[in-house]
Amino acid sequence: MGTMGTRIVSGIGAFGLAAALACGPGGEGGQAQQALRPASGGAGAGVAELMAARGLTDADVTAALKTYVPSGKHDDYYIFSSGGQSGQVVVLGIPSMRILKYIAVFTPEPWQGWGFGDRGSHEVLANGDRHGHEIRWGDTHHPNLSETNGDYDGKYLFIGDKANARMAVIDLEDFATKQIVPNPILESDHGAAFVTPNTEYVIESSQYPVPLGGEFAPIESYAETYRGAATLWKFDRERGRIDVERSFAIELPPYMQDLADAGKLVSDGYAFINSFNTEKAFGGNLEGRPPLESGASQNDMDYLHVIDWKKAEQVFQAGKAEQIRGFPVISLETAVAEGLLHFVPEPKSPHGADVTPDGKFIVVGGKLDTHATVYSFEKIKGLIDAKDYAGKDPYGVPILDFAKAIQGQVELGLGPLHTVFDDQGNAYTSMFVESKVAKWSLRDLKLIEKAPVHYNIGHIAAAHGDTVNPRGKWVVAMNKWAIDRFLDVGPLLPQNFQLVDVSGPAMQVVYDAPIPLGEPHYTQIISADLIDAIDHYDPVGTDPLTGELDPHATEGGKERIERQGNEVHVYMTQVRSHFTPDTIRVKQGDTVHLYLTNLEQARDATHGFGISSYNVSLSVEPGKQSNATFVADRAGVFPFYCLEFCSALHLEMAGYLLVEPREGQAGGEAPGSRAGAARHAAR
Ligand code: RUQ
Ligand code: CUA
């Protein structure tokens, strides 16, 4: 234990403390242990005594020292994690693993006033509706930060919704969702979001093939009519929005496309998507066919899709795409004819397609294989340029020779999935079946070490670990179902993020962080100094969606209530500790338009607006404008109040909405109505 402890001592420079921790009783640390004991008992027991009392080992204490961030100090990195079926994004800090925020994306979230009356948030959510259905959840899988020259620039975050094939744009100035775009031709995605090195495009590729565009076709015609596709959403950085008009898709065969990554540096201009189910199985186990999963696991090889997206962009711009539901799609035929799609075989049920920091290699894990396969971009490019094909798939897509396209394979063990990289030329692969992180060298493709994690690791992330400039130091294992790591909370188990220190000769798991929101899939880890978040909106009355002054923003002193027929316009402001106006009189059946401006510019001056019975919850951060419209269809007296404890007189920050009955209507409901009867019965 001495070696490790000594290393850490010098690392953190805390002579007495760590020396004491490193040495057992009777060791050279005796003196240091003495030094740790508070002279006058002020802070309680010494560290050695605390360790003994709590049963902590040296490793426990070094882990604690590596992750503890004292009150008032900030973390070095942000983690942006998918929130799985919560439809949200989770933000944490490294090394503390403290959860900082759940960003509301696809699912309404009342604290952020997302989808509870705020008109802008409803517009964003409604834009994500599909086929006339209101969709108010998502299954977020892969967050991707915007990049400049292949490294995170800290400006935007994109995240796909696997369940409903949608893409969201989050602005990291205010950590708020700005846009949700439904995919017009797909029903599900998985290779999403993956950005190109200058965020020219945000890639969303399908998972489960369907007739593109959402029409019905019999499943027996799967091979003929079902298709996958890779969508290239054009990102307009100026506007901070996806530009649907300049976006397009490439039709793909009905294999199940899976993870994707964009090439970088030497491989810039290419995208790589792996696939499974080249068998084209579609299930039917009550109809005399094999279940989908066994039908999809017959072939020894599936196909890594190699897409020349720069060529595809030219083909699209040359007008050679067809329209499906009004969306331009480059047909498979055209993709083959233009030479922008090639396949390379990949071993049994692959998963994860990760481009190395130098852009030279693509690492693919094989769920049912014991290897990670390392493809050489140079070799792939050479084969494509020489038209050196090993064959064609049933759809005419040229297939390259496996042996000629790979650099090599690394024997890792059971269930390799995803791979990330550090700054020392090492790769870290998640081993789902083994519940381990495998560290291996990119130089010689040799396994270095495996560290156990708990349990069932899916994705893995490293600091800038999928960029041209990995930072090393930290890896996060994203484990599913923490069966025994935390206090029991019933059968639905939290997930477990384990922070792994990879800076030393041996990997050390230093922290377990439960993720109690949904199944987190991928995350990205960005250096904290790259994020430049605002602390208030400027000017006062800013619409967070446009970043500009909202036309309904109200200046202090100009608060008013205007009636136009049955429409009542309330121009309201907030400042600690009152709403102006705090009395709103309307008539039953009126439509109330509430225009709410937080006049404050201090960073800790967020107010809220909550009102009984009308399902409205607004978050009005300093300088923000939030507008809500509702029909006051129920007569009665409805208190509204500020939702944040903003000052000593926060409880007094309240008012009344008075909804007077219309002529001839005495009370809330018509007498004898069901609601009225129920209320009386309950008394
Ligand atoms: S994947 S199941 Cu990212 Cu490994 Cu979604
Ligand atoms: Cu404003 Cu409480």
DSSP letter string, 436-504: EEEEEETTTTEEEEEEE-SS-EEEEEEBTTTSSS---SEEEEEES--SSSS---SSSPPEEEEEEE-SS
- Does residue 142 line the site of ligand 1, with CB under 6 A? yes
605 Cα nearest atom in ligand 2: 1
**Those residues with Cβ within 8 angstroms of residue 368's Cβ, 6 or more apart along the chain or in another chain:** 297, 348, 349, 415
Residue type at 608?
G
- Does residue 432 line the site of ligand 1, with CB under 6 A? no
Distance 521 CA to ligand 1 centre (A): 6
Burial annotation 320-339 (CB, 10 A radius, 16+ → b, else e): bbeebeebbbbbbebbbebe
Give the residue, out of 190, 276, 420, 479, with the most ligand 1 atoms within 8 A of its beta carbon, to mutate for a pocket test.
Answer: 190
Distance of CA 36 to the CA centre of its chain: 43
Distance 73 CA to ligand 1 centre (A): 34
H or E element at residue 374: strand 371-376
- Does residue 595 line the site of ligand 1, with CB under 6 A? no
162 Cα nearest atom in ligand 1: 5
- Does residue 185 line the site of ligand 1, with CB under 6 A? no
pLDDT at residue number 381: 98
Q: Please tell me the distance from the alpha carbon of residue 610 to that of residue 149, in angstroms, as a whole number.
A: 45
pLDDT at residue number 368: 84
**Those residues with Cβ within 8 angstroms of residue 383's Cβ, 6 or more apart along the chain or in another chain:** 389, 400, 401, 404, 405
Q: Please tell me the distance from the alpha carbon of residue 223 to that of residue 254, in angstroms, as a whole number.
A: 7
646 Cα nearest atom in ligand 2: 2
- Show the low-confidence residues of the chain (pLDDT under 70): 1-45, 664-683
Pocket residues: Cβ below 6 A from ligand 2? 607, 642, 644-646, 650, 653
Distance 87 CA to ligand 2 centre (A): 28
- Does residue 195 line the site of ligand 1, with CB under 6 A? no
| Per-residue tokens: 12 | 């953190």
- Give the residue, by CA position, lying nearest to ligand 2 atom 1: 607
Distance 402 CA to ligand 2 centre (A): 64
Q: What does DSSP assign to residue 590? A: P
458 Cα nearest atom in ligand 1: 4
Ligand nearest to the CA of 188: 1
The closest of 307, 282, 309, 310 to 294, measured between CA atoms, is 282
- Does residue 459 line the site of ligand 1, with CB under 6 A? yes
Residue type at 72?
G
Q: Are 370 and 416 in contact (CB under 8 A)?
A: yes
Distance 512 CA to ligand 1 centre (A): 21
Give the residue, out of 194, 259, 293, with the most ligand 1 atoms within 8 A of its beta carbon, to mutate for a pocket test.
Answer: 259
521 Cα nearest atom in ligand 1: 3
pLDDT at residue number 349: 84
pLDDT at residue number 665: 61
- Does residue 480 line the site of ligand 1, with CB under 6 A? no
- Does residue 367 line the site of ligand 1, with CB under 6 A? no
Distance 536 CA to ligand 2 centre (A): 16
351 Cα nearest atom in ligand 1: 4
Ligand nearest to the CA of 140: 1
- Does residue 342 line the site of ligand 1, with CB under 6 A? no
Distance 179 CA to ligand 2 centre (A): 29
Angle between helices 47-54 and 58-67 (to 10 degrees): 110
The closest of 575, 587, 665 to 633, measured between CA atoms, is 587
